Amino acid sequence: MAPQGPSGHGRRPSALWLAALPVALILGPLLPGLYWALAPTLDAAVWQALWVDAQWPQALQATLLSALLGTALGVAIAAVLATLYYPSRRWADLQRRMPLLLSVPHAAFAVGLFFLLSPSGWLARALAQGLGWAEPPAWITVQDPYGLSLALALGIKESWFLLWVLVAVLGEQQVQRHMVVARSLGYSRVQAWRRVLWPRLLPRLGWPLAAVWAYGLSVVDMAVILGPGTPPTLAVLIWQWLIDPDAAMQAQGGAASLVLLALFLLGAGAARWLWRHTVHRAAYPAGERRPAPRPARVGLHLPLLLIGYAVVAVLLVWSLAESWFFPALWPESLSLQTWRQADWAPFWTTLWLGAAAVLLCLPAALLWLEWGPQRVNAVLYVPLIIPTLPLVAAQYAALLQLQVDGTALGLVWSHLLWVLPYMVLTLIGPYRAFDRRLMTTARALGASPLGACLRVKWPMLLKPILAALAVGFAVSVAQYLPTLFAGGGRFVTVTTEAVALSAGGNRRVLAVQAMLQIALPLLGFGLAALLSFWAGRCRKGLR
């Protein structure tokens, strides 16, 4: 008997190969690339040079502090808001605002937060109005040596991602039934979450939590903007070593990237142990009294939303400012001069690069979900759940060996590794919820497996497909390290340009590039919503 695919029809070997081939082309070169990139680290002298490097201890400390605090803060914000607001009108309101918050890329968010929190930033200017300051205070509010401002940015930004994941999980009927049953038994909202929902949801949130932890360890663009400078975080230090022309420094960077990977595995293992031995048991305490239900607290989500809006607002104002000296709360005048003189080449490069990435990943994702071996989905998620730097180093080594580094082909391929997993994650829920009987009927009427998908399944999944395209495009826009390494400096995107300008360029020019970085994902989400609405109207007109 032929093995059954996700739609219930037989999965032929040819279909399996068709689904696996695109994934193999995307992931396959990483294996030899890892060998080429990390083989020099087998030399003991490389590790000895790493341990005695003067920058190493402080860089490691800043990385651990920022990653741990950022991950903990992001988890805490998402958990508190979900516990207090789901299900309620405020949760639905927060859910509607998620696409806008998620469309702000990490680098643009870091630039906006820098403009807010720096000693000459908007918040300091507001305080100066009441305290009579004539000069910026001598405070270290950003780029502090411990990475605390970086941790704050990571916590806020990653909480939006975790809330987005929770929105998807909490939309499932089974989870909703658990909450209804718990409330009908007299549990308060907090108790229902603690004793019913969290014990069931936390194991399912393992991959997203691992992705947040991995990103905090290996983030470079946000660390360049908000993190410490001398020495920087370990990820930035590794990046500097990997691009050094000296082969010994490149090997040291490869060794340090393995340290990042070890830190990720240690953190993930510790979290798993903590769940099994403390958190899981604490969810079922003996003899706990059941207090009366209490209403959700009001307005705790507002600061999170206000920070997101304030980041976009300060970037917009700076992009329009003519002159804006401290302690003025508002620029002396506004104009479009900086926009008229802006370099739009990074915008167009980012646009075609993101479009190429999602158009190549969409058929790969659909074929994989339809006929691919779902038992090995974890392989697709590897780029999301381990630190970026070892993978980027492997990509770059593979591109060098194939002699396609610095080419458009190599650049697009470097983005596929991160775009494909996010598109699969976006589509897998709607794909599993699709009514298999529709495909069975189509096959009974004589349609081939591919024909049934083209005529029945994929048109009915148009809305989640469009959402996956928008998410994938936003992921491509945000890519910094893959663009930097694979592009070889020949391709400049709005993300690489914004990070480069943050090192001391004109604030107005920096704000324009950051706004363009925000505008591109917004364009993608807006176009997806418009096409989805138009398709819905067309279907209604045909009935």
Give the domain-ending residue among 285, 319, 334.
334
Total domain count, the chain: 2
> Are residues 25 and 67 located together in one domain of the fold?
no
Q: Is the pLDDT of residue 295 over 60?
A: no
Once rounded to an integer, what is the mean pLDDT over residues 72-80?
Answer: 94
Q: Is the pLDDT of residue 436 over 80?
A: yes
**Residue carrying structure tokens 């691992």:** 210
Question: Token digits for 536?
Answer: 């819905």
Does 396 reside within a domain? yes
Give the domain-ending residue among 334, 351, 380.
334
| CB-CB contact of 171 with 60 (8 Å) | no
In angstroms, the Cα distances linking 83 to 87, 126, 179 are 9, 34, 11
Question: Sorting pLDDT into bands at 50, 70 and 90, what band is 495?
Answer: very high
Domain that holds residue 523: 10-38+336-543
Does 109 reside within a domain? yes
Taking Cα atoms as reference points, which of 459, 495, 392, 474 lies closest to residue 426? 474
- What backbone torsions phi and psi does residue 174 show, to the nearest 5 degrees? -65, -40
Question: Cis omega (within 30 of 0) on the bond before 87?
Answer: yes
Could you tell me the CATH number of the domain that includes residue 113? 1.10.3720
Does 291 reside within a domain? no
Q: Is the pLDDT of residue 281 over 70?
A: no
> Are residues 28 and 91 located together in one domain of the fold?
no
**Rounded distance between C-alpha atoms, residue 500 and residue 426, angstroms:** 31
Taking Cα atoms as reference points, which of 414, 420, 421, 379 lies closest to residue 393? 414
What pLDDT score does 286 carry? 45
**Rounded distance between C-alpha atoms, residue 373 and residue 522, angstroms:** 34
CA dihedral over 462, 160, 298, 187, signed as positive or negative: positive
What pLDDT score does 11 carry? 54
Does 82 reside within a domain? yes
**Rounded distance between C-alpha atoms, residue 516 and residue 518, angstroms:** 5
Could you read off the pLDDT of 24-33 as tens digits, one per residue?
A: 999 989 989 9
Could you tell me the CATH number of the domain that includes residue 370? 1.10.3720.10
Could you read off the pLDDT of 82-133 as tens digits, one per residue?
A: 888 888 888 888 888 887 788 889 999 999 999 999 999 999 999 998 888 8
First to last CA, the chain: 39
Question: Token digits for 189?
Answer: 């909202």
Taking Cα atoms as reference points, which of 535, 474, 530 lies closest to residue 157? 474
Non-local CB neighbours of 22 within 8 Å, separated by 6+ positions: 360, 363, 364, 367, 368
Could you read off the pLDDT of 387-411 as tens digits, one per residue?
A: 899 999 999 999 999 999 899 999 9
**Rounded distance between C-alpha atoms, residue 283 and residue 203, angstroms:** 13
> Are residues 487 and 536 located together in one domain of the fold?
yes
Does 53 reside within a domain? no
Q: Is the pLDDT of residue 2 over 50?
A: no
Does 522 reside within a domain? yes
The dihedral over CA atoms of 439, 445, 448, 449, expressed in degrees to the nearest 10, equals 10
Question: Sorting pLDDT into bands at 50, 70 and 90, what band is 312?
Answer: very high
Does 207 reside within a domain? yes
In angstroms, the Cα distances linking 469 to 169, 290, 408, 540 are 20, 46, 20, 24
Q: Is the pLDDT of residue 1 over 60?
A: no
Give the domain-ending residue among 334, 358, 383.
334
Query: Quick one: what percent of the chain has pLDDT higher than 70?
Result: 92
> Are residues 397 and 522 located together in one domain of the fold?
yes
Question: Token digits for 352?
Answer: 């075609």
In angstroms, the Cα distances linking 92 to 81, 89, 163, 171 are 12, 5, 12, 11
| DSSP classification of residue 197 | I
Question: Token digits for 512?
Answer: 């324009």
Question: Token digits for 229?
Answer: 């400078």
> Are residues 226 and 92 located together in one domain of the fold?
yes
The DSSP string of 83-126 is HHHSSSHHHHHHHHHHHHHHTS-HHHHHHHHHHHHSTTSHHHHH
pTM given for the model: 0.89
> Are residues 112 and 140 located together in one domain of the fold?
yes
What pLDDT score does 294 carry? 52
> Are residues 228 and 354 located together in one domain of the fold?
no
> Are residues 340 and 438 located together in one domain of the fold?
yes
| CB-CB contact of 421 with 249 (8 Å) | no
Spacing of C-alpha 168 from chain mean position? 15
> Are residues 383 and 436 located together in one domain of the fold?
yes
In angstroms, the Cα distances linking 406 to 34, 69, 402, 488 are 19, 36, 11, 5
> Are residues 348 and 311 located together in one domain of the fold?
no
Q: Reduce the DSSP state of residue 29 to 3 states and report it.
A: coil
**Rounded distance between C-alpha atoms, residue 176 and residue 170, angstroms:** 7
Could you read off the pLDDT of 465-486 as tens digits, one per residue?
A: 998 999 999 999 999 999 999 9
Non-local CB neighbours of 468 within 8 Å, separated by 6+ positions: 362, 365, 422, 423, 426, 427
> Are residues 129 and 175 located together in one domain of the fold?
yes
Q: Is the pLDDT of residue 529 over 60?
A: yes
> Are residues 120 and 29 located together in one domain of the fold?
no
β-bridge mates for residue 365, sequence order: none
CA dihedral over 303, 68, 86, 292, signed as positive or negative: negative
What pLDDT score does 194 carry? 81
Does 323 reside within a domain? yes
Once rounded to an integer, what is the mean pLDDT over residues 14-37?
Answer: 87
Among the listed ranges 177-186, 280-289, 501-510, which one has the minimum average pLDDT value? 280-289
